[in-house]
Amino acid sequence: MLASPRCSRRRACRWCRTSSYAAGRGRGTAPRRDTPPPAGLYVGGVEFLGAGRSADVYALDGERVLRRYRIDADARRESAVMVYVGAHGYPVPRVYPEEGTATDLVMERLAGPTMLRALVDGEMTAEEAGRTLARLLRRLHDIPARFSAEPADRILHLDLHPDNVLLTPSGPVVIDWCNTQEGSPALDCGLSAVILAQAAVDGESGLAGPARQVLVALVAELGDALAHGEALDRAAALRAADRALTPRETALLDDAVALVRALRRS
Ligand SMILES: Nc1ncnc2c1ncn2[C@@H]1O[C@H](COP(=O)(O)OP(=O)(O)O)[C@@H](O)[C@H]1O
Ligand SMILES: [Mg+2]
């Protein structure tokens, strides 16, 4: 059985650049690392695969991974949504709910780079990435909500950006359903656009150029599904409420929203 792997590293998502440890939300017991552990590192006898804002991911075997939260979040909620959208044909890793716990999600081990990695490595163009993200959003929003009585409400991912898509041999698969809720699809589209725009307006980031290109393609492909009025303000407010954002990232939000509006109107 898994020997309680705990890898308390800083967040490495170069896309949304948030850090749960920077926000004091880490709760690992091992010494903190300032840099990501190398791929293939073994922690408690288990292979460490990757980490993002809220979780560490370990290979249990060739077929399954364990995603263990570093924050207070209920993996069972996310697991139920993944099972539901997967049953509607949406590309998510297969989940093994019976093997999970409140903080641990056991799911299918996927092969392939994240969309962000593929962009950085030149294996995917920014235009293709933006179009793919838009199609994944549209497809998700075709699925009926599970609980909401509001007819227009849908399942929302609310963190669909290039570091949360794995490019597998059978197509893009969406991971990291930690923020999922039900609500207006415009909120989901707005949040993806705002996250990309935050990277695009960050003059200190080497990813600003590609992020802008991905955003341009996303905006074009989403068309009217990307509202630029009140829904965009709500998306920005949701992003601003993310406790993991640094003050600098929060300060970029107004410019990010302005960029989305400018691209949407052009
Ligand atoms: N099902 C999976 N198969 C293989 N690798 C995965 C899987 N899920 C996540 N990963 C790896 O773990 C990383 C972090 O996962 P993610 O769910 O995005 O966590 P976080 O909430 O911390 O961002 C991913 O970028 C990816 O490298
Ligand atoms: Mg993630």
Among 56, 57, 99, which residue has the most ligand 1 atoms within 8 Å of its CB, making it the best to mutate? 57
Ligand 1 within 6 A of CB of 10:
no
Whether the CB of 244 sits within 6 Å of ligand 1: no
| DSSP tag of 15 | T
Domain range list for the chain = 115-265
> How far is ligand 1, taken at its centre, from the CA of residue 240, in Å?
23
Q: Is the pLDDT of residue 11 over 50?
A: no
pTM: 0.87
Average pLDDT, the chain: 86
What superfamily in CATH does domain 115-265 come from?
Transferase(Phosphotransferase) domain 1 (1.10.510.10)
Question: Residue 145: is it exposed, middle or buried by C-beta count within 10 angstroms (0-12/13-18/19+)?
Answer: middle
CA–centroid distance, residue 68 to ligand 1 (Å): 10
Q: Which pLDDT band holds residue 248 (cuts at 50, 70, 90)?
A: confident
C-alpha of residue 54 to centroid of ligand 2, in Å:
7
Share of the chain above pLDDT 90, in %: 68
Q: What is the pLDDT of residue 99?
A: 87
pLDDT digits (tens, 9 = 90+) for 158-204: 999 999 999 999 999 999 999 999 999 999 999 999 999 999 999 99
Hey, what are 143's tokens? Answer: 């699925």
Least confident range from 29-33, 136-140, 205-209, 235-239: namely: 29-33
Q: What separation in Å is there between the alpha carbon of 227 and the centre of ligand 1?
A: 29
Band the pLDDT of 40: cuts 50, 70, 90. Answer: low
| Spatial distance between the Cα atoms of 164 and 176, rounded to a whole number of angstroms | 6
